[in-house]
A and B are shown apart, each in its own frame.
Chain A
Amino acid sequence: MSKAEKKLAIWNAQIVTRALVDSFKKLNPITMMKNPVMLVVEVGSVMTTILLIRDMATGAAGIGFALQITLWLWFTVLFANFAEAMAEGRGKAQADNLRKAKTETIARRLLPNGTTEEVPAPKLRRDDVVVVSAGEFIPGDGEIIEGVASVDESAITGESAPVIREAGGDRSAVTGGTRVLSDQIKIRITSNPGETFIDRMITLVEGAERQKTPNEIALNILLAGLTIVFLLAVVTLQPFAIYSSAPQTIFVLVSLLVCLIPTTIGGLLSAIGIAGMDRLIQHNVLAMSGRAVEAAGDVNTLLLDKTGTITLGNRQAAEFIPLHGVDQSELADAAQLSSLADETPEGRSIVVLAKEKYGLRGRELAAHEAHFIPFTAQTRMSGINYNGREIRKGAVDAIERYVSTNGTPAPKEMREVVERIAKSGGTPLVVAENHRPLGIIYLKDIVKGGMKERFDQLRAMGIRTVMITGDNPLTAAAIAREAGVDDFLAEAKPEDKMALIKREQAEGKLVAMTGDGTNDAPALAQADVGVAMNTGTQAAKEAGNMVDLDSNPTKLIEVVEIGKQLLMTRGALTTFSIANDVAKYFAIIPAMFSAAFPVLNALNIMGLATPQSAILSAVIFNALIIIALIPLALTGVKYRPLSAASLLRRNLLVYGLGGVIVPFIGIKLIDVVIVALGLA
């Protein structure tokens, strides 16, 4: 998406319209209770409104000023509501799409006698078994207990390519609302109506039952505390003013209060939280709670599976190493022949390497002259019998056995090469022809492009990456070195993973990991951030606190970044909000007391035209800044992979110092405009 398109998405007409209506609905004081800062503004607005009506009735002087103040106070509340409604609106739009996927489905429930009956999907309960055929929608979340099918899951993932789901193993989970494209499957339903994955998704994206996250609660306490401090400062100012023979009107006092309390962050706080969840959803990640998103920002250690996350899923042939007295092209030729029928990615990569390096074309072999030997667990070799040549390839032990059946033991050199390859992180595959060893194919794990840079960035952020692999320690160490991870866990069994997580947590660290299998479930539950792959089992999805609909384990890194961005945005706007108060004092205090003490005009360093214009400008600035910062709240502060010290320096300069300076300019400009318009 280009930048312009992103902007368009924020100010989407449909969302804006709905948000405008919602901003008024949210004026309900009961809704406002959860936001103490804005509640104070609303109470202040009500007070000035009542006084305004009284003044109008009695025909008091200065109605124009009082009217404008009252209007802008109401706007302040509405703008804050609008920000929240905007954030919610994007989720609501998404929820509408999901609801469409939840069309009324008729399920075929399997009865004990083997026949089926038709029931509406919402009537299904846990442990019911249903039969779904090609072209039908799956009526609810469940597990395939019989059969294989290709399933269109675009309703939830947005990915149009169908996926294969089959009984048993790690690909057995299906989601209600998706569609079977081929074959027929039997599904055991695993969730009751209203608790399905789509239901949860709808609730999450709508933010209807949004719980405040721990950090949000803490921040709210800080803001409420500051509000009380300012309430005290303003309420006691009136007696001091009376003592100084300069009593103030309620309009002025409420204006001062509203300008001082942290309305900017108070108004945008919930929008920031909702937008953070929304950003995750844009990345096709579903967080089961906001708490998990915050925890992601705090992660100290990332556990990453080697295969699929750090390396491409498959090994690739990188080199042919002939034994003494064997020609390289002879080895390449034999290797290619032996792999022609090998449909595994490794096999294909051998054919390709031989072609690229030695110009050997893949040959069409007529069936009568070639006989392919498939890999079996007994021989642990595969190969080809062709024109009297018997070519075999396999693990070193198997080939040694094959070679020695001829009476001559395998040369020592073979073992040496094999060990060298293993040490450097590769997988050796030995090739032999007619019981004579030719050489070794070097199969290499290919580290995904750009991983080293990402790990460097993570390190700069203070996050340690640990690679988890089933490989032996030698191989693991070599790949770890190449990929640039900080540590690795070799020959890892599920319980080792669990032990590692617990060890890290005992040191006070937060751990994030991804997983998809049922045996990953305990570790996913133990980790502070557990991202389950959507292709994974139901058990894994329930154990984790996030689900990645794209099933891309590398995305864990983005999840961490989104978590950090969320916290940074909150901190930046809080700092900005508090820093703003300095300028507001310089606008309002001289305006309040310059009548009684003309010398106080020395504090009017902005040179605001009149006391009324000064107070009005401060109030207007205070309201408009909320609107101006909505895009920042929704998209988040730009994230940079820097150390905490440099991030702090940067953000303090931008939002702290900026927060002091910006309102001086803003209030002055507004003052110029309202004076030009003759409003004050």
Chain B
Amino acid sequence: MTLNGWLQILVFFALILAVTKPLGAFMARVFNRERTWLDPILRPVERLMYRLTGVDETREMRWTEYALAMLLFSVVSMVVLYLLQRVQTWLPFNPQKLANIEPSSAFNTAASFTTNTNWQSYVPEVTMSYLTQMAGLAYQNFVSAAVGIALAIAFIRGIARRERDTLGNFWVDMTRATLWVLLPFCLVGALLLVSQGVVQNFKPYDTAKLVDPQGQVTEQVIAQGPVASQEAIKMWGTNGGGFFNANSSHPFENPTPLSNLLEMFAIFAISAGLTYTLGKMTGAQKHGWAVFAAMALLFWIGIATAYWAEAKGNPILTGVDQVASATQSGGNMEGKEVRFGIANSALFATITTNASCGAVNSMHDSFTPLGGLVPLANIMLSEVIFGGVGAGLYGILIYVVLAVFIAGLMVGRTPEYLGKKIEAYDVKMAMLNLLIFPLTILVFAAISSVSPDFGTSQLNNAGPHGLSEILYAFSSGTGNNGSAFAGISANTYWYNTTIGIAMLFGRFLMIIPMLALAGNLGRKKTVPPSLGTFPVTTPLFTTLLVSVIIIVGALTFFPALSLGPIVEHLLMQARQTF
């Protein structure tokens, strides 16, 4: 570990801290439908869209209708994306004449992009046409992120409102999330990326003569395309689906350390801002910061571990200089880009798995066991450390409800969260939400791990590392992360289907109880705070929340992890690898 490395991590965090308040306050205005400086341009566009689609923007929806609208929208989007892939070869913007995509892979990809997961079991530059990339994938990148933000706002309204049946209007929230939040940020973001050298064109692929031919191979095909526009939303919307297979380690996606910082910043910005929006809309600004602090604490635990583990290198490589110096970054550089080094690779891996983004700038599979445990554990804590746009906030709020319920009893009152009593129905919905995660990950992973025909046969590594690969794949799917540990050939019928199902479960089966909980909270009376009220604004509460998240996650996954990365780490110390 170097001072330079820590400083880069600190700069990143300082940027996020600085942007939380202005961005959060801006989003509160947007969703409270107060005036913003973008109104003169965007308000006419918004009105036109409602007129064309026949949406009554003043109409409020109950949670059931909100959920139904969201599901309907997602199903239609998913079907369109599936069909687009199945017929792309006959459609325009396909200079490479790429073929139609086979059903299981098309299903997997449609599920993946609709759920904001962006798990890619295919190699994009040899699979997806420009039209599919732009009209299919980039479109989903926008709307799946907007859906997430809308849902988080609906949840906040459930907490903030008293004795109201409704949570807002799904179409309006989604439209405003797209127009006011995602589009402007991505426009600026894409331009900044272009300034760093990210490409943006419709050209067919280039072919270059190799300077140093490798046997028969004398030339290399260099993929092109409208990358920058897709790269921006890939980050701002915590999507993570790369234009190229190499994702953010590809020089056309992420060419410089500065573009790397911009991308990392974009992953966290909206999710961090939403904690401020939470405080603003509920009138409990300190609570918003308490939630932010819990997320930040978990982030620091992760990055410190990952950076330490990667910088320390591999003890088995005796005789190899792994010490950082002016001329080399030291540590475990396998699968990492030299232009990012240890600190920025560990940081990117931590952020992208904290936030259910799933973009990668290094190979997680090549991390040391502990370094690789961090991304896996981040996902297994169900993506609440800032988390996916919107999804992270409503995810952590479920934990808040549980933490308040368990510990709230200890102050001698029926637990209250910001004045809302937490009762049987609320606990039921929170537990349903909580159950989906272990159910999906553990069951699919368990079946895969004992099925030589379709499960373990796809592994590139044996022993604990192979188990980590399976666990990672299903965690990534269920957590809607989308990053790949790699080392597993997932483009098979079994993995395409089950990971596709895992992504849909991890998104929609968790959203429905969450919205039901929000709807129920909104209907409740608000008990005015007093000295006897459970405090949700103090450092003590932050500690409690962090403990609940870690304990619930650890208790659920510790047995499985002990046979994966934990034993692998111990074995590595004993000089054994897989």
Binding site for B on A (CB under 8 A): 214-215, 217-219, 221-222, 224-226, 228-230, 232-244, 246, 256, 260, 294, 297-298, 300, 459-464, 507-510, 563-565, 567-568, 570-572, 574-575, 578-579, 581-582, 585, 589, 593, 597, 599-600, 602-603, 639, 643-645, 647-649, 651-652, 655-656
The 8 closest A-B pairs by CB, nearest first: A571-B409, A462-B532, A564-B412, A225-B431, A462-B530, A462-B531, A571-B410, A599-B570
B464 close to A (CB within 8 Å): yes
Considering the complex, give the chain A residue whose CB is closest to the CB of B525: A508
Q: How far is the CB of A669 from chain B (nearest CB, A)?
A: 24
Whether A222 contacts B405 by the Cβ 8 Å rule is yes
Is there an interface contact between B540 and A244, defined as CB atoms closer than 8 Å? no
- The answer to whether A221 touches B532 (Cβ under 8 A) is no
Q: Is the beta-carbon distance between A239 and B570 smaller than 8 angstroms?
A: no
What residues of chain A lie closer than 8 Å to B111, measured between beta carbons?
none
- Residue B87 at the chain A interface, CB threshold 8 Å: no
A644 and B551 contacting across the interface, CB-CB below 8 Å: no
Q: How far does the Cβ of A202 sit from chain B's closest Cβ, in whole Å?
A: 29
Q: Indicate whether B208 reaches chain A with its CB closer than 8 angstroms.
A: no
**Looking at the complex, which one of B410, B424, B431, B535 makes contact with A651 (CB distance below 8 Å)?**
B410
A497 to B27, CA, bound (A): 45
Given contacts A578-B406, A647-B411, contact A242 B450 (CB under 8 A): yes
Contact present for B445 and A236 (CB under 8 Å): yes
Task: Establish whether residues B408 and A571, one from each chain, have CB atoms under 8 Å apart when the complex forms.
Answer: yes
Q: Is the CB of A647 within 8 A of B431?
A: no
Quick one: which of B410, B423, B435, B446 contacts A239, CB cutoff 8 A? Answer: B446
A236 x B446 contact (CB < 8 A): yes
Of A221, A240, A509, A599, the most chain B CB neighbours within 10 A belong to: A240
Which of A233, A236, A300, A578 lies in contact with B530, CB distance below 8 A?
A300
A234 to B407, CA, bound (A): 26
Are B412 and A639 in contact, with the CB atoms below 8 A? yes
A222-B431, A233-B438 given; A508·B528 CB < 8 A:
yes
Given contacts A225-B428, A567-B414, A649-B540, 19 further A-B contacts (CB under 8 A): A222-B402, A226-B431, A230-B555, A232-B556, A243-B467, A244-B463, A256-B559, A260-B555, A462-B530, A464-B530, A507-B528, A578-B555, A579-B551, A581-B551, A581-B555, A599-B570, A602-B570, A644-B535, A645-B535
Alpha-carbon distance between A648 and B403 when the two chains are bound, in angstroms = 12
What are 14 A-B contacts with C-beta separation under 8 Å? A215-B409, A225-B431, A232-B438, A239-B447, A243-B449, A243-B456, A300-B532, A508-B527, A564-B413, A599-B574, A644-B412, A644-B531, A645-B538, A652-B544
Given contacts A597-B570, A648-B535, contact A585 B555 (CB under 8 A): yes
Q: Are A234 and B559 in contact (CB under 8 A)?
A: yes
**How far does the alpha carbon of A12 sit from the alpha carbon of B438 in the complex, in Å?**
45
Q: Which of B238-246, B248-256, B560-568 contacts A (4 or more CB under 8 A)?
A: B560-568
The docked-state distance in angstroms from the alpha carbon of A649 to that of B534 is 11
B532 touches A644 (CB 8 A): yes
**Cα A115 to Cα B432 with chains together (Å):** 68
Residues of A within 8 A of B556 (CB): 229-230, 232-233
> B551 to A218, Cβ gap below 8 A?
no
Interface centre among B422, B438, B526, B563 (most CB of A within 10 A): B563
**Could you tell me the distance between the alpha carbons of A215 and B409 in the complex, rounded to whole angstroms?**
9
Pick from A237, A507, A597 the residue with the most CB of B within 10 Å.
A597
Contact B413 A232 (CB under 8 A): no
Shortest CB distance B64–A (Å): 21
A558 to B410, CA, bound (A): 18
The answer to the question of B434 belonging to the interface, with a C-beta cut-off of 8 Å to chain A, is yes
* B439 on the A face (CB < 8 A): yes
Whole-angstrom distance between the Cβ of B431 and the nearest chain A Cβ: 3
B431 and A221 within 8 A (CB): yes
Closest Cβ neighbor of B560 among chain A residues? A240
Does B557 belong to the interface (CB within 8 Å)? yes
What chain B residues lie within 8 Å of A597 (beta carbons)?
Answer: 567, 570-571
* In the complex, chain B residues whose CB is within 8 Å of the CB of A600: 562, 566-567, 570
Contact A652 B540 (CB under 8 A): yes
> Which one of A229, A242, A656 has the highest number of Cβ atoms from chain B below 10 Å of its Cβ?
A229
Q: Interface SS of chain A: helix, strand, loop or mixed?
A: helix
Within the complex, the shortest CB–CB distance from A572 to chain B, in Å, comes to: 6
Query: B551, A578: Cβ atoms under 8 Å?
Result: yes
Once bound together, how far apart are the Cα atoms of A637 and B569, in whole Å? 43
Known: A218-B422, A218-B424, A232-B438. A240 touches B467 (CB 8 A): yes
Residue of chain A at shortest CB distance from B450: A239
Q: Determine if B413 and A297 form an interchain contact, defined as CB atoms under 8 angstroms apart.
A: yes
A582–B413 contact, CB under 8 A? no
Contact flags B429-470 to A (C-beta < 8 A → 1, else 0) = 001101100110011011101100000100000011011000
Residues of B within 8 A of A237 (CB): 559-560
In the assembled complex, the Cα of A230 lies from the Cα of B412 at a distance in Å of 28
On whether the beta carbons of B555 and A459 are closer than 8 Å, the reply is no
Contact B442–A648 (Cβ < 8 Å):
no
Known: A240-B449, A509-B528, A647-B411. A221 touches B571 (CB 8 A): no
Contact indicator B573/A599 (Cβ below 8 Å)? yes
Q: Does B419 contact A (CB under 8 A)?
A: yes
B558 lies within 8 A of chain A by Cβ: yes
Return chain A residues, CB-CB under 8 Å to B464: 244
Chain A CB within 10 Å, residue with most, of B413, B443, B526: B413
**Is the CB–CB distance between B414 and A297 below 8 Å?**
yes
Say which residue of A240, A643, A647 sits within 8 Å of B563 (CB atoms). Answer: A240
**B402 to chain A: which residues have CB within 8 Å?**
222
Given contacts A229-B435, A232-B438, A232-B443, contact A593 B411 (CB under 8 A): no
- Please, how many angstroms separate the alpha-carbon atoms of A246 and B559 in the complex? 13
List of A residues within 8 angstroms of B328 by Cβ: none
Does B534 contact A644, Cβ atoms closer than 8 Å? yes
Residues of chain A within 8 A of B555, CB atoms compared: 229-230, 233, 260, 578, 581-582, 585
User: With A and B bound together, what is the CA distance between A563 and B443 in angstroms?
Assistant: 42
Question: Contact between B574 and A508 (Cβ–Cβ < 8 Å)?
Answer: no
- Cα-based distance from A243 to B449 in the complex (angstroms): 6
State how many angstroms separate the Cβ of A260 from the closest Cβ of chain B: 7
**Chain A CB within 10 A, most for which of B423, B431, B538:** B431
Q: Cβ of B446 and Cβ of A648 under 8 Å apart?
A: no
* Contact partners of B574 in chain A: CB under 8 A: 599
Residue of A nearest to B548 (CB): A578
Tell me the complex Cα distance, A462–B421, Å.
Answer: 16
Residue pair B412, A240 in contact (C-beta under 8 Å): no
* In the bound complex, CA of A122 to CA of B463 (Å): 77
Residues of A close to B419: CB separation below 8 A? 508
